[in-house]
Amino acid sequence: MRILELLSVKPFAIIGHRGAAGLARENSLRALEEAIRAGADIAEFDVQVTADEIPIASHDEIVLFDDGSKASIRSLKLGDLRSRSVGGEPIPTVQELLEHATGRIGLFLEVKNPKDTLILVNTIKKLEARQWIAIISFYEEAVAQATNHGFISGLLYFKPPGKIVECSRLKCKIVLPRFNLATEKAIEFAHRLKLKVVAWTVNDATVMEELARKGVDGIATDYPNIATSIRNTMLV
């Protein structure tokens, strides 16, 4: 899978969090372009689903639009959603993300509601973009379903003792701890189980360097430009 190759970049792969949330509005096409421009290997986006079952890029189900209105994405059909803007542009669909990203950058797509997993899976299959994608989630059932459909998947967590064993049991390939849980011991354990380790969300240059020395495979950041500078320095 191409997505695993992108996670094998040394000394570490760079994942733009919510596209590149520190450089453009999060989960937008502009944030995707900023991630590519900054040299990220992968861009991560959150997924919600509209009333007519179209997966779109949004962290929250309830959205505040530029006109001051507020609505639940799950209550709106795509046409209604696209008639409004957030941060000066429409909320992109996952299809649009894939069309802009394929062949340029990998994508982590985070399932926010496990009931949406199959909808996302079928969307990606139709677009034949699976090799560029990993489906990730805090929900084990979402990860299990993605894996069962042949996708590279990853399990997110933020509380100790972590979910490395659970990730291995679910046959996912990527474990994604909050950065403070990405200890050297945890990273070594994950690697023994043949798991890639991606720490999130890291915006401090010193912490990025520390994680790289510990051996993480990837670092998710709002500022992929900073991570690129650090990686280039480490390669000298």
Does residue 38 belong to any structural domain of this protein? Answer: yes
pLDDT of residue 204: 97
Packing angle, helices 94-101 and 117-127, rounded to 10: 40
Q: 127, 95 in Cβ contact below 8 A?
A: yes
Identify the bridge partners of residue 157 per DSSP, sorted by sequence position.
177
Does residue 74 belong to any structural domain of this protein? Answer: no
The domain spanning residue 196 has which CATH number?
Answer: 3.20.20.190
Does residue 202 belong to any structural domain of this protein? Answer: yes
3-state secondary structure of 38: helix
Burial class of residue 81 in the structure, from the number of CB atoms within 10 Å of its CB (0-12 exposed, 13-18 middle, 19+ buried): buried
The two tokens of residue 27 are 């989960």
- pLDDT tens, per residue, the chain with 236 residues: 599 999 999 999 999 999 999 999 999 999 999 999 999 999 999 999 999 999 999 999 999 999 999 999 999 999 999 899 999 999 999 999 999 999 999 999 999 999 999 999 999 999 999 999 999 999 999 999 999 999 999 999 999 999 999 999 999 999 999 999 999 999 999 999 999 999 999 999 999 999 999 999 999 999 999 999 999 999 86
Q: 233, 44 in Cβ contact below 8 A?
A: no
Q: For residue 18, is it left (φ>0), alpha (ψ between -120 and 50) or beta?
A: left
pLDDT of residue 235: 85
Does residue 64 belong to any structural domain of this protein? Answer: no
For every residue of 101-142, DSSP letters joined together read: HTTT-EEEEEESSGGGHHHHHHHHHHHT-GGGEEEEES-HHH
Domain count, the chain: 1
Domain residue limits at 109: 2-47+94-235
Contacting residues for 112 by C-beta, under 8 A, at least 6 apart: 46, 47, 48, 59, 61, 137
Q: In angstroms, rounded to a whole number, what is the distance separating the alpha carbons of residues 81 and 195?
A: 38
Does residue 80 belong to any structural domain of this protein? Answer: no
pLDDT of residue 1: 55
Q: In angstroms, rounded to a whole number, what is the distance separating the alpha carbons of residues 49 and 167?
A: 25
Does residue 186 belong to any structural domain of this protein? Answer: yes
Does residue 43 belong to any structural domain of this protein? Answer: yes
Q: In angstroms, rounded to a whole number, what is the distance separating the alpha carbons of residues 65 and 73?
A: 11
Q: In angstroms, rounded to a whole number, what is the distance separating the alpha carbons of residues 122 and 103?
A: 20
Does residue 157 belong to any structural domain of this protein? Answer: yes
